[in-house]
Structure 1
Amino acid sequence: MADLQDVGAFVAVARNGGFREAARKTGNSPSQLSEAVRRLEAGLGVRLLHRTTRSVAATDAGQRLLEQLTPALDAVTTAMDVVNGFRDRPAGRLRLNVPTSASKLVLPRILPPFHKAYPDITLEVIVDDSFVDLLRTGCDAGIRYGERMEQDMVAMPIGPREQRFALAAAPAYLQEHGTPKKPEDLLHHICLRGRFNSGTMPPWEFEHKGKKVVIEPSGPLIVNLGAAADLKVDVAVGGAGLVYLFEDWLQPYFDRGELVPVLERWWPAFQGPMLYYPGRRYLPAPLRAFVDFIQTMRW
């Protein structure tokens, strides 16, 4: 019978793609994890991980073992967490996978009162704008918009129920280049674009009185959406072009007069973000506390 600690070490390394990241997540040293995996491999007589100087990946045998172990380990975690429910206050770690927009516009309002209410819960936030599999990344829950949400998940609103995309420019830009009167005018303006990690460059969409207009503008700057969005805003503040982004993201710049709303009646509205997580009979206590807390908030 393999030592469960060695099994846990293998799972941590396989899930995190390396010994250093697994060590950071588990609190062990890379050498301790490496030795544990070696013991497990020696006991089973099978190589479980391919190791190179740059990466670690599961072998076919390791992948099959990981697939078989995951449900069992989840069941053990759930069983142990049931006991956590008998504590006066929930404790433990909660891992959230969220897009940059949620880390900037949603979580700052939630986390201070949540930590005050549940000081024994450690919240780990992974900011990732790509589409991810929650279970494979070891996260308990995520925040996404409806069209990018995984199937077969429980979902609930978190944050504003409705948001808008906004178009803006610095006063200096509008003074020099004029103010667009309709979306089609943007084809003759300098526009600051964004691209998803997948390589997709989304168009700029507008809507007014049932009429929808989709524009593919051009400009001298393209940034990675999410991580580099603030760069796009800063360049717009400097008077170099028009920026299209979440209204809430741009609102502080409107308040300070650094940016001016453009084509405001054409700004499209869309459903706000959702918290989603696997449907389970027993939720881990930290996640249950977070879900219950979100349901009490008003936006």
Structure 2
Amino acid sequence: MVDVGDLNAFLAVAERGSFRGAARRLNVSASGLSEAVRRLESKLGIRLLHRTTRSVVATEAGARLIERLRPALAEVEAALEVVDTFRDRPAGTLRLNVPVVAARLILPAIVPDFLARYPDITLEVAAEDDFIDLVAAGFDAGIRYDERLERDMIAVPIGPRVQRSATAAAPAYLARKGRPEHPEDLLSHSCLTGRFGSGAVLIWEFERDGEIVRVEPRGPLVIRTGATADLAVDAAIAGTGIIHLFEDWLRPHFARGTLVPVLEPWWQPYSGPFLYYPGRRLPPPPLRAFVDFIRSRRPG
């Protein structure tokens, strides 16, 4: 008989393309995973993975096994989750993939109360702004904005339902360079700009009285969207240039006077983020508890 644990180990290694990566994902040793895969290959009498010093790739037989194994193991997991619903309290691990702004501005108001209510649940959060395949990456759910949601996902509103991107600069910068009165004036200013992980430039979009203006800013600092946004904020406070970021992120600096709102009548509102997860099967108990918790906090 083939051990289900060995099958899970093989699948994790194949999906990660690395014994070390799979070991971190499963919180086990790489040597233990290597032994599990060797044991599985020995029982089946065929090599499933090509191993080199740089990568691990499924053989043709391994690839065919993966195709059939994923849905089969998903069904096993779903069957066990049905049993788990009979527990008094949901337990297990909930893995979320969220953008940096959600980790900074949304989850802090949610996570402590959720974990206090469900002490048997462990929450793992990865913050990154690049779009990923949730299932392939081993996450239960994610947080994204509606323009980046896949159509086969279930989406639940989380956090503020309306947000704005704010434009701001330090008083010293405005005293030195002057204050822009129209978004197109930004083209003659030093702007602290960003790029997505794909390399695409972050376009600044403004709206007033039905008029939409999109600006591709230029300036001395370009950041990768996400965690490096704090560097751009610090640079803006130091007077390096004009920044364009989530209003909630910049509001504390407005209150302290280290940054001053710029072009505020043009700040464009947009829909807030969503918690999303695959709709192909019942969510595991930790995710179901989180979804119910989020819904219970929504007004009305």
Q: TM-score, normalised by structure 2?
A: 0.96
Larger mean Cα displacement after TM superposition, 19-28 or 250-259: 19-28
The question of whether the paired residues in 1 share the 8 Å contact of 2:165 and 2:246 is answered with yes
Alpha-carbon distance between aligned partners in 1 of 2:273 and 2:144, rounded to the nearest angstrom: 6
The question of whether the paired residues in 2 share the 8 Å contact of 1:133 and 1:150 is answered with no
Matching of residues 212-291 of structure 1 within 5 Å: 212-291=212-291
Larger mean Cα displacement after TM superposition, 99-108 or 51-60: 51-60
The question of whether the paired residues in 2 share the 8 Å contact of 1:48 and 1:61 is answered with yes
The question of whether the paired residues in 1 share the 8 Å contact of 2:47 and 2:62 is answered with yes
Calculate the aligned-residue CA RMSD, in Å. Answer: 1.4
The question of whether the paired residues in 1 share the 8 Å contact of 2:96 and 2:126 is answered with yes
The question of whether the paired residues in 2 share the 8 Å contact of 1:90 and 1:285 is answered with yes
What 5-or-longer segments of structure 1 have no aligned partner? none
The question of whether the paired residues in 1 share the 8 Å contact of 2:100 and 2:227 is answered with yes
Kindly provide the amino acid, as one letter, of the partner of residue 56 in structure 1.
V
- Match of residue 74 from structure 1: 74
Matched, 1:40 2:40: yes
What 5-or-longer segments of structure 2 have no aligned partner? none
* Shift of residue 281, structure 1, vs aligned partner: 4.6
- Match of residue 64 from structure 1: 64
The question of whether the paired residues in 2 share the 8 Å contact of 1:93 and 1:121 is answered with yes
| Overall identity of the aligned pairs, in % | 62
The question of whether the paired residues in 2 share the 8 Å contact of 1:6 and 1:39 is answered with yes
- Match of residue 188 from structure 2: 188
Q: Which runs of 4+ in 1 moved over 6 A?
A: none
Aligned pair in 2 of structure 1 residues 298, 251: CA closer, same or farther (>3 Å)?
farther
The question of whether the paired residues in 1 share the 8 Å contact of 2:190 and 2:242 is answered with yes
* Shift of residue 75, structure 1, vs aligned partner: 1.1
Larger mean Cα displacement after TM superposition, 31-40 or 61-70: 61-70
- Match of residue 198 from structure 2: 198
Q: SS at 1:136's partner residue?
A: helix
Aligned pair in 2 of structure 1 residues 57, 252: CA closer, same or farther (>3 Å)?
farther
Alpha-carbon distance between aligned partners in 2 of 1:254 and 1:298, rounded to the nearest angstrom: 28
Q: SS at 2:167's partner residue?
A: strand
Deviations along 1:223-262, one digit per CA (max 9) or x if unpaired, are 1011211111110011100000111111111111111100
* Shift of residue 151, structure 1, vs aligned partner: 2.2
* Shift of residue 217, structure 1, vs aligned partner: 1.7
